Structure 1
Amino acid sequence: MTTVPAEATKLSELTEQQKKSGLAAWLGWFFDGLDLHLYTLVATVFVAQLLGTETTDPDVRKYGAFIMGAFLLGWAMGGAVFGYIGDRLGRSRTLVLTVLTYALFTGLAFFAQNWWQLLIFRFLAALGIGGEWAIGASLLSETWPKKWRPWIAAVLQCAVNFGILAAILSVALMGYFVDLDQQPKWVFLIGVLPAFVTLWIRHAVPETDEWKSEAGRRQAPPLSDLFAPGIRRSTWLAVAICAISLTGHWVFMYWQQAFIKMHPGVSAGDQGGIIKWALFTVIACSVVGNFASGWAAHRFGYARALCGFFSAYFLFMAVAFFFSWSLPMTFVLYGAIGFCQGVFGLFTMCLPPLFPTLQRTTGAGFSYNIGRVFSAMGVVVFGLVSMEIGQCLLYASFLFVPAAILALWLPQPE
C-alpha cells in the first residue's frame, strides 16, 4: 500500500496518488451533499406542485415523506451494490460510476410530472450517492497514512457539509434567474454538474496498490463472508450502530424544517428564509463538530468518541424538543445538534479497516448503508405516526442512547 514516511507531517510529503485520491473522494462527497439536499430544500413546494394542491395539504407531508424514504432506501442499496462492484472492478472506476449515477438521475428529476416519478428519480440518484460513500472511504483508507485518518474523516465530512451549503446557496441564487413557481424543478439541473468531474477522476486517479495486489491474487469473497467467524461480531455491531444512529439523525434532518415552519415565532412570509437559515446553522456547526470528533477520536479512540457524541446528540435533541423555546434559543439548540453531527465523519475511517481488503467497500458500504433502510422507515413512521412534529423529534432522540452504548463495544481499527 502506498504510504508516506513515518515522520511525515505535511501535505507536501504526500505522494501524487494520495493527493489525487484525496481530491477525488472530497469532490465526490461534496457533490453528494449538493445532490442530497437539493430535494429537502424544495420538497414541500415541489411535492405540492406535483399534487396540484397547497403546501398545507396533509398529502404533501405524506408523499414528501414517501419520497425521502425511497431516497434513503436507495442510498442503502447503493452502498451494498456499488460496494460489491468496487471490490471487483476497482475503486477509481467504480467511483466514476457512482458519480455519474447520482448526477444523471438528480438532473432527470427536473422532468418529473407527478410524485411517483420524482420518487423513482430520487431513489435511483440515491443508489449513486450511497455507493460513493463506500468507495470514497475505502479509497482513502487504502492510500492515506493511518495516523491521519481521524482528520481525513473530518475533512471528508466537511465536503458533504460544504455541498449542502452549496445547495442552500444555489436555491437562494435561483430566485434571481427563475420565476418563483419554477424554482423547485430547476434546482435539480444543478445536480448534473458532478458528471463533469468524472472525466478527471477516470483520467487522473489510479487504482490503489492494495486493491491491485489483493485482486491479482484472489477473487473477492461473497457478501455472506461478512458474517463469517472472525469478522461477524464487527459486522453486526457496525450494522446496529449505523442503523440506530442514522435513523435518529435522518428523522431530525428531514422533519426539523417542518418544526421551524410551525414555530410560533415564524411568520408565513418569513418561513422560506428562516428555514434556510436553520439548516445553514446546523450545517455550519457540524463543520466544527467534524474536527472536534476527529480530535476526540485521536485523543480517546473511536469507540469513546462515538459514545460521547451520540450521548450529546441525544441530550441536545431531547432538550430542544421536550421544552418550548423562543426562536433564537431554538437556533442555538439546532447549532448544538449540528455540532454533534460531526460524529458521522468518524464512520468514514473507522468502518473500512474493520474488514479485509477485498471486503472493505462491501463491508463498509453494507454496514453504513443498511442504516439507510431503517432511517428510510424511520422518516416515514416517526413523521406519520406522531401527531406533532416536536413529539416525533423528541421520540427520535432516544435512539442515540442504545447507539452510544453499542459504540463502546466497537473494535478499535488498527
Structure 2
Amino acid sequence: MTVSTDSATPSSVPWWRLLNRGHWVVFFLAAMAWLIDCMDQQIFNISRDAAVADLVDKSLAIEYSPYTTSIFLVGWAIGGMILGSLGDRYGRARVLFFAVLMYAACTGLSAASTGFWDFSFYRFITGIGVGGVFGLSVALVADSIPDGARAQSLGVLQSLSAFGNITTGLVGMGIGALAIRGLLPFHLATWQVLFIIGAFPALIILPSLFRLKEPEKWVKAKAEGERKGIKFGSIKTLLSHPTWRKNAWLGMIVSSAGIVGLWGIGNFAPAIVRSIVDTHLANANLTAEAMSSEKAYWAAVGLLLQTTGGFFGMLALSKFAQVKGRRAAAALALLLSFATTVMVFSFMRTTSQMYWMLPIMGFGQYSIFGVYAVYLPELFPTSLRSTGVSFCYNLGRLIAATAPFTIGQITRSLGGNIEAFRTGGIIVSMVLLIGIVVLPFLPETMNRPLPEE
C-alpha cells in the first residue's frame, strides 16, 4: 500500500474528509504506536516508586527513584537520535516496527527485576525503543497525509496519546483495587503486574506495522536523493546546513523546556500524591502491604486526573497553533506549564485538592506536546524530518534527564523529605521559561508547505 499526499482541497473542507483508506491506516497505526508508547511510559511513572522501594533499601528509595527516570530518559535520548536517523535512511514504518518491539519487550522484562541495576538496565533499553516512536510517527504521518490535513492530524495524533495515559490510570486503579483485596496472582507486587500488562498491547499492532509500506513522498524523495547524492538521516548534514542547524538547536531548547516540565517535574506528582495518602491514612492502622496498595491506587487516580487534563491541553493548544501560529502557541503552553507546576508543588496538600489541581497541571504540562507534534516536522526537509524531530525531542530528553537527578540532589541537600522534594520541583521548573526566550528566533511555519532541500 502506497500512500499519496497529492491533494489540494479548500480549507473549508473538514480535514478528515481529505483522507482515504490508506491515509487512515497510516494514521491509526502511528497513533496506536505512540498511544501504547505513552501507556508504557506512564506505567513506569506510577510503578517507579513502589518498584524502587522493593528493590533497594527503603531509606534510599526517595533518592534513587529519580535516578531511574534519568536512566530511562538517557536511553530515550540515545534511542531517539539513532532510530530517528535510521528512519530517514531506511524508512519510517520499518524502523517504527523495531522501536515498538523493543519497548514492549523490555517493559515486560522490567517485572522480572531483582535489584536496582537490572531494573535500570531494562528501563534504559525500554527508553531506546520509546525514544524513536515520536519522531518516526510524526514523520510517517507528515509524509503520508495531504498537506491540507497535516497539522490537524498531527495535533489529533498527539492528543490521542493521552488515552494511553488515561488507560494506564484506569488499569492502575483496577490493579490497585485488586491488590487492596489481596487478589493479585502468584504473590506478585502491584508494580510487577502493571509492567506485565504494559507489554501486551503492542503485540496487537506489530503484525500490521510489519506489513506497512513507506510513504510515497519518502520513497520518491529517497530515490531522488540517491540520484543527487543527498544523504538521508545525516546528523552531520543537519548540523552543518545553516537553516536546519539553526532550527535543530533552537527547536531542541524549546523541546527541552517542555520535556523538563513534564518528565523532569510533572511526572513526579505521584510522589506528592503518595505523601498525601500517607498523611490521610496515618491513623488507619493499615499494614505496610495495605498502605502500599492504597498508594498504588491513588497514584493511578492522580495519573488519570492529570492525563485527562493533558488530553484537553494538547487538543486545545494544537488547535491554537493552527489558528494563531506555532510560536505563539508554544509560548502560551510553556507559560501554562510553569504556572500550573508551581501551583501543584506549592499548594496541593489534600486528596480533595487533587481532583481539580492535577487536571489543571496536566492541561498545562501536556499542552506544549500538542504544539511539538504540529511544529517540529515543519522545521525540516524530507531527508532530515525524522532526524530533525528526533534531535529536538530526544536530545531535549537527554538534557531533561538531568532534572530528576537535580531534584534528587536538592531533595537530599534540604533534608530528604517531601517538602524538600516540592522545593526542588519548583526550582527546576524555572527552566520552562528559557524555552519562551528562544521562540522569536525560530521561523513561523503556519500556512507554509513542508520545507524541502
TM-score grouping bracket, smaller chain normalisation: over 0.9
**Relative to structure 1, is the Cα distance of residues 394 and 136 closer, same or farther in structure 2, using a 3 angstrom cutoff?**
same
Which amino acid in 1 is paired with 2:327? A
The CA deviation at 1:144 is 1.6
Residues 29-50 of structure 1, C-alpha deviations (whole Å, 9 max, x = no match): 1110111111221222222222
The alpha-carbon distance between structure 1 residues 16 and 407, as it changes in their structure 2 partners (threshold 3 A), is same
Task: Give distance in 1, aligned partners of 2:317 and 2:34.
Answer: 18
1:376 equivalent in structure 2? 401
2:191 pairs with one of 184, 194, 199: 184
User: What CA distance in whole angstroms lies between the structure 2 residues aligned with 1:331 and 1:393?
Assistant: 20
Aligned AA (2:425): L
Paired amino acid for 2:69:
M
Q: What does the per-residue CA deviation read over 1:142-182, in whole Å, with 9 as the maximum and x for residues that have no partner?
A: 12233434432332223321112222222333335436653
Distance in 1 separating the partners of 2:208 and 2:313: 31
The answer to whether residue 238 in structure 2 is matched with residue 226 in structure 1 is: yes
1:37 equivalent in structure 2: 42
139-148 vs 318-327, greater mean Cα deviation = 318-327
Q: 1:46 aligns with which of 44, 51, 59?
A: 51
Contact 1:151-1:291 within 8 A present in 2 as well: no
> Which string of whole-angstrom CA distances, capped at 9 and with x for unpartnered residues, describes residues 305-346 of structure 1?
110111122122223334465543354232211111222122
- 1:226-260 deviation line (CA, Å, top 9, x unaligned): 12222221111101111222112212233211122
Equivalent in 207, 210, 214 of residue 199 of structure 1: 207
Task: Give the CA deviation at 1:383.
Answer: 2.5
Q: Is the 8 A contact 1:244 1:374 kept in 2?
A: no
- 1-structure distance, mates of 2:47, 2:186: 14
Could you give the per-residue CA deviations for residues 328-373 of structure 1, whole angstroms, max 9, x where no partner exists? 3354232211111222122112112211111110111011111111
Cα shift readout 1:50-82 (whole Å, capped 9, x = no counterpart): 22x4xxx33112322221111111111111010
Alignment correspondent of 1:411? 443
1:153–1:346: 8 Å Cα contact kept in structure 2? Answer: no
- Aligned residue for 1:165? 166
Equivalent-residue separation in structure 2 for 1:125 and 1:304 (angstroms): 34
Q: How does 1:1-400 map to 2 (within 5 A)?
A: 2-7=5-10, 8-9=13-14, 11-51=16-56, 53=57, 57-174=58-175, 175=178, 176-178=183-185, 181-193=188-200, 194-203=202-211, 205-217=212-224, 218=226, 219-220=231-232, 222-227=234-239, 228-263=241-276, 266-268=280-282, 269=291, 270-323=294-347, 326-340=350-364, 341-386=366-411, 387=414, 388-400=420-432
Q: Check the 8 A contact 1:220/1:359 in 2, yes or no.
A: yes
Counterpart of 1:309 in structure 2: which amino acid?
A: A
SS in 2 for 1:75: helix
Q: 1:100-147, CA deviations, whole angstroms, 9 ceiling, x for partnerless residues?
A: 111111111122121110111111011111101110010111122334
Which is worse superposed, 310-319 or 9-18? 9-18
Distance 1:289 1:3, change over 3 A: farther
Query: CA distance change for structure 1 residues 150 and 178 in 2, over 3 Å: closer, same or farther?
Result: farther
In 2, Cα distance between equivalents of 1:283 and 1:148: 26
Q: Normalization by structure 1: what TM-score? A: 0.92
TM-score (norm 2): 0.85
Distance change >3 Å, CA 230–CA 272, structure 1 → 2: closer
CA pair 321-106 structure 1, distance change in 2 beyond 3 A: closer
Q: State the AA in 2 paired with 1:206.
A: K
Describe the SS at the equivalent of 1:230. helix
State the Cα distance separating 1:291 from its structure 2 match.
1.5
Distance 1:300 1:229, change over 3 A: same
How many residue pairs get aligned? The number is 409
The 1:200–1:45 alpha-carbon spacing in structure 2 relative to 1, beyond 3 Å, is: same
Task: Note if contact 1:17-1:206 (Cα within 8 Å) is conserved in structure 2.
Answer: no
Instruction: Structure 2: give runs of 5+ residues left out of the alignment.
Output: 283-290, 415-419, 449-453
The CA deviation at 1:88 is 1.1
Code of the residue aligned with 1:189 in structure 2: it is: I
Matched-pair identity in %: 23
**Distance of aligned partners of 1:180 and 1:161 in 2 relative to their CA distance in 1, 3 Å threshold:** farther
C-alpha contact 1:44 1:60 (8 A) present in aligned 2: yes
Partner Cα distance (1:45, 1:221) in 2: 40
Rounded Cα–Cα distance in structure 2 between residues aligned with 1:393 and 1:334: 15
1:3 counterpart letter in structure 2: D
Q: 1:344 to 1:95 in 2, by over 3 A?
A: same
Distance 2:427 2:160 in 1: 30
1:116 and 1:271, CA in 2 relative to 1: closer, same or farther beyond 3 A?
Answer: same
Q: Distance in 1 between matches of 2:391 and 2:100?
A: 19
